[in-house]
Homo-oligomer: A and B are copies of this chain.
Amino acid sequence: MSIRIIATGGTFDKEYDELAGKLGFAESHMPDVLERARLTIEVKLEVRNLIDSLDMVDQDRAEILQSCLNSAERAIVIIHGTDTMRETAQVLGAAKMDKVVVLTGAMIPYQIANSDAFFNLGFACGVVQLLPAGVYVAMNGRVFPWNDVKKDKSVGVFINQA
């Protein structure tokens, strides 16, 4: 079993810029994160341009889809901002790939106290190995199919769409 992890930024990977005095993006924390996870499965890390998912445009989603299509690994975890995770999942889900794609992210950046990031990554790395082909969102300890998920922004959790 080998997994591709595609880092796209989002809250998970945000970092405090001490000169600007606000959160932004620098280097991805994923190499450190993965070393800390002590994985013995093969992991291929692909760090894309790190952005806030609110800034993602169609072109970004097309490129993420292309990364999935190009992936030699059948199991793919995508680190993504939560605000438009559903939109990207829809683009990927419509492509009907014969791969397992799990999108996850974080409500609190990995670098900040009380972050859920590391748990969510572990959860995603687990379910991606067992789910049937398809596109899923994995947040709050739950697996959602790409076409039945939304973020309830009033409380900051993912729920079914209906």
Contact = CB atoms under 8 A, between A and B. Distances in A.
B125 A125 contact: no
- Give the number of copies in the complex: 4
Q: How large is the interface on A (under 10, 10 to 19, 20 to 34, 35 or more residues)?
A: 35 or more
B130 A41 contact: no
Interface in A85-100: none
B122 A126 contact: yes
Nearest to A40: B140
A97 to B, nearest CB: 19
Given A127-B129, A130-B130, A130-B131, A83 B21 contact: yes
Contacts of A18: 107-108, 156
A98 to B, nearest CB: 19
A97 B125 CA distance: 26
A152 to B, nearest CB: 10
Interface string A106-143: 01110111111011111111110111000000101111
Interface of A: 1, 3, 11, 16, 18-19, 21-23, 36-41, 43, 83, 107-109, 111-116, 118-127, 129-131, 138, 140-143, 153-159
